[in-house]
Every structure is written in structure tokens, then in C-alpha cells.
Chain A
Amino acid sequence: MAQQTSLHIGVILSLALRNLKRNARRTALTFSALFIGGALLIFALWFGDGTHEQWIDAGVRTGSGHVTIEKPGFRVSQKIADRLVESTHPPVMAALATPEIADQVQTVFSRFNVSGLASSAAAARPALIVGVDPTVESALTQIDDQVIDGRYLEPDDRLAAYVGVGLADGLDLRLGSRLVLTAQDTSDDITGQLVRVVGVFETGIPAVDQAMIYVTHGLVGEWLGSGRDVTSISVMVEDSYGVPRLVRQLRQLLAEPIASGSATVTGWTEAMPELYAAVLVDEWGSYVIFVVLFVIIGFGIVNTVLMSVLHRHREFGVIQALGLTPRQTGAIVFIEGILLTGAGAIVGVAVGGLLTWLFMRNGVDMTVLMGDTDYEFAGVVLDPIMIPLFRPARVVQAIVSILMIGVMASIYPAVRAATVDIAESMKFDR
């Protein structure tokens, strides 16, 4: 017998729509659950993205940038021998100046990190001495705003040191106090440098406040004999999502220095694994909550659609008696579920988008929960004002997630409708 090839899509769609309309209250309740779920999902995703981006931004500004170019091995050894010598700078700067890279780059900055000893008349402490360009650094980080005594570095400073509050206390330093920095120089000799405290800062991160000293690039170059060498050239971009692509592009452009072992390109996820792990843990924690939320919503959809199917047992028998195939009958129920979840997802995402937009400008002030104390997480001091971040991909992700829930929740009721015993269904007299 010839198979009917038409799927009667129009008829199926029309019946599905009318059945949704017929049970208006039930439809409205399920739709409400879906759209509230959708709105919460997109709001939470964008809010989470914004929060994570703030963490990443704060972390990479004080750390190694979104992307950092170093000599291989420096990250582990932290030795002066593993520095980027001046001759490697031109190809790096040329790569960063290419149009496809330059479009993505916000800021380029370099640092000279060296581990050493800070000694005062009172005591001696291990210290991480960071040579910076004060102008670039103040634009890049908030370190200049975190001054609690004195001032931040100035480009013309020669023997100035900007010291963490914990270290200053440990060495009994005050403004104008002198201290000696001792570290290995480029000739592998231990060499000292007298500096004077021009300012004391407090980041709220104990590890930073108790160990870090900022000085100018010029001072480091003269003291250690490293001239214009640096230990890292780092790049800031607008959005951390673009980092993997930028890393790939830079690795291609710097293939020669990378092959010769004079440079390596590292994204922030590799350079700051603790921060990356913190973001992932938080993100997956959120996903677990979403899954629980949507399993509950999914059961709600199953309940609604299945109730509707059980009430229409006889109808499904009738339409099959009139010529609809079992598969087409199941399709009516399946499409009802998809229409309901699809509409809920779209409206929910739109409402969630509106809600997010309301917080886009001023964010949400979490000081109510966090209090006035600084909250440190993975070596980053968190800003209590959390601002959501609009990422279009999340719209697709949210709608597809909800639709998947709808698909899964509609399969069983659709199978029930498709496998109805036609003759038996006619026996019920409702």
C-alpha cells in the first residue's frame, strides 16, 4: 500500500496550538514556570559572566595580563637568566602591531619580576621586586589608588620603592625610610641596591601586601645590569573570551622565537591556573544549580503534557481512527511541548535580558552580603559591585537548553499518545 508521505504538518501544528489554547490555565502555569526559569537562567548566566570577567580582569591586571610573552621556563624558575632580552622585543612588538592583533589589544605592558631580599635596619624579609613603567601600571591597575601612605611611583623616580603594608610593617619602614634590595644580577652575582620608601600600599591580599615592592624599570636595569630587558611583555584585551584566538595568532606570528626557545606565549588560563580553576568551579557550580532547576521544570512540563495526554486519550483514538498515523499523533503532543517550551524560552530570555539591562549600568552592590571587608578569592580582591556582561552566545545557549528540556520532557507523553489502543480508547465514555 502506498505510504502517505505528507506529514500533515499544518494540521498537526494547528491541533497542537488549539490544544494549548484549550487548556489555557494549565498552559499559562507551565509557560510561567518556563519563562521564569528562562529569565533566571539568562540573568544568572550574564551575571556570572560579568562577575567572572571582573575576577579575570582584576587578576590579569595585577598578574600576567590576558596574554603574556616570556622566556620559556621563567614561570617556574623565576630566574633572571630566563628573562626576555631586549633583542627579542622588536619581533614581539611587531607581532602585536599587526592589524589583526592590534584590533584586539587594549594595553601592552612589561614587567621585570625578581625574587630577592629586602633589608632594613630592623629586619630582613624575602620580597618580590617588580620593575614597572609607573605611567602604564597606574592606568592598568589600581595599585596607585591603593596607597595608604605617601605616593605612588613617578616615571622620574630613581631610587624610589612603593612597598606593601605588610612588608613595611615587618621591616619597620616609614615614609622616607631606607632599605636595601638584594638579588642575583645578570652576571649571577648577588648585588644590593639602596632605595627609599616613597609610598605604602594595601591591596587586601596578604600575599601581595607582605611581599611586593614596586620600583621603576630604570632602577632594575641599572641595579641588575639588565638594561631594557624585561621578564614579561603582557597584553590586555577587552574580553577574556577572545584570549584563545589571540594566543593562537601570536603563536603563529612568533613561530620563529618560539621555535628557537627565546619566547613563549601563554594565555591567562595557563599563567594563572588558580584563578582559572576558581572561575571554572564557580561556573560549574552554577551549572549544577541550573540543572537542578531545569530538572524540576522538566518534571513540571512532563506533568502538564502527560496530564493533557491522559485527558485526551479518546481524542487520540479518534484522530487515529480518522486516518492520522501513530507517529503523527505523537507529533501533535511533541509539538505542543516544543511550542510551550520554545515560547517560554524566548519570552524568558527577553524578560531576563530586560532584567539584566537594568543592572548593566550600576550593577548589584554585594556589600550587603560581603560587608566592608575586602573579599579575596584565588589571589584576587573582588569588587563588591557586580556588573552583568552581555554575551549573545548565552541567548542561544539558554534557548537551546530550555528547548532540550522541552524535547526530553515531551518524548514520554508523545509516545503515550502514539501508542494509544484505538479500540480501547473508544470504550471510555467521558
Chain B
Amino acid sequence: MTELDSYAVRTESVSKTFQQEAEEIHAVRDVSLTITPGEFTALAGPSGSGKTTLLNLIGGLTRPTAGEIWVAGHELSELSNADLAQLRLKQVGFIFQAYNLLPVLTALENAEFPMLLQGTAADERSSRVRELFARTGMTGLEDRKPGKLSGGQQQRVAVIRAVASRPALVLADEPTANLDSASSEALLELMEEFNRTLGVTFVFATHDARVMERSRRLVKMVDGAIASDEIQ
């Protein structure tokens, strides 16, 4: 195993500053963090603590003002926007607070979408997604458009979409924020199962106590900086 293979994510002195009118906002300050493959890690903190921004930086959705980020062996600042898209397509799955399913696609098509872009064969796509639908109690809902699914169902589809293409890393931004307790518990169990059985690395941005309790590593952020980093 090379040094690059020994971590899923590594950040070195990463900072992100936004300009808001005349004011400079330091969303992330000098963050250095290493996440090894298979971790189930939560980035916790109050609103404005910088956890979502850090998640976006790791996912290559935005670029840092300073510092370096490695994901799956690639230093993100060296990649073009198109290369970043390819990295996300092949290595990173996303789960968003607002589910963000594509409204013109059915539940099944949404879940298959990253694999469709990867060029996975139709049979393989269908078989993987249907199996995950079965495991998550979603069988029978494959042909429904997102508007015809409950919040919990939509988020399950989003989780399936994130893991079905078998990425090395899943970045989940407040995945339980819009769900009731039962749905949140069910979703967390599902993600734990995927982490355990598929070996997918999960990194959450959350302020949900249930997510923090279940995560095996808790990184607390305050004012854009890491305040504590504990293995639970």
C-alpha cells in the first residue's frame, strides 16, 4: 500500500475565504485532516462553522483559497473542472440535505444516473439498483418521479444513488436534516450497512446528535477551524 492509498481524504492547511460585499468571510481556516478508507466520520458544528464548505472543498465543488486537498490520490488543485467532474463521477458519491433528485427522472433512473454517466451496462445498473431498492424497502417505487415520493423515500434514493456506483468516498451534507426520527434512524442504519458491507468511506457534515452518536470519528468545527477530533 502506497502513502496515497493509505487515506481517502487528506487536507493540508486548507482555507476558504468568501468575499461578501466589503466583508471577508473565513469559512474554513487552516484545516489539516486525514480520513482513512472505511471511516464513518462526522464533521459537526453549529451553522456557519464551515463543515459544509469543507465537505464541498473535499468534493471538489469549490476550490480552496489556500492549502492542498488530496482525494483518492489526486491533488485537486491540479485538476481542471472537467477532471474534477471525472473524479467525482468515479470516486465520490454525494448525499444532499435537500435530496436533490432530478425531477425529470424516475427513482430508478435517479439511482442509476451516476452509473449511466460511468458507462455501466444497463443490466448491471438495473441489477445493482434493484438489489439496493430491495434492501431499503423501496421495491415497487422504482418508476415514481421524486415528486411522488416522501422525504424519507427520496433520501433513500439519494443514498442508493451515492453508493450504487461504488465510489470510494461518500460525502453527506446534513442527510437527516429534513427527516423525522424514524426515517433518520433507518437512513443511518442503511449508511452504516453500506459502510460495513461495501467498505465505502462516509464523511458527514451534520449537527444532528444521532449522526454524531453513530459516527466512529467526530471532528468538531468552530468558526471554520477544527476544535476537536475524537475517535468514538
Contact = CB atoms under 8 A, between A and B. Distances in A.
B169 to A, nearest CB: 13
Interface stretch (A35-43, A131-139, A207-215, A319-327): A319-327
Contacts of B173: 426
B149 interface: no
B96 A426 contact: yes
A429 B178 CA distance: 12
B145 to A, nearest CB: 10
The majority secondary structure among interface residues of chain A is helix
Contact of B89 (A15, A323, A423): A323
B82 interface: yes
Q: Name, among A19, A314, A322, the residue most crowded by chain B CB atoms within 10 Å (CB to CB).
A: A322
Interface residues of B, number: 32
Interface size class of A (residues with CB under 8 A): 20 to 34
A333 B96 CA distance: 24
B196 interface: no
A295 to B, nearest CB: 31
Contact of A423 (B61, B81, B117): B61
Given A19-B104, A315-B103, A423-B62, A326 B82 contact: yes
B25 to A, nearest CB: 13
B79 A322 contact: no
B61 A422 contact: yes
A4 interface: yes
A315 B119 contact: no
B83 interface: yes
Interface in A377-430: 421-423, 426, 429
A87 interface: no
Given A323-B85, A323-B86, A325-B85, A426 B117 contact: no
Nearest to A418: B81
Given A3-B82, A3-B83, A326-B85, A321 B59 contact: yes
Interface in A298-347: 314-315, 317-328
Sorted from nearest, which 8 A-B pairs have the closest CB atoms? A323-B89, A18-B104, A423-B62, A325-B85, A325-B82, A422-B61, A423-B56, A318-B100
14 contacts: A3-B82, A4-B86, A15-B104, A18-B105, A22-B104, A314-B100, A315-B103, A318-B96, A319-B102, A320-B85, A322-B89, A323-B88, A326-B81, A426-B56
Interface of B: 53, 56, 59, 61-62, 74, 79, 81-83, 85-90, 94, 96, 98, 100, 102-105, 113-114, 116-119, 161, 173
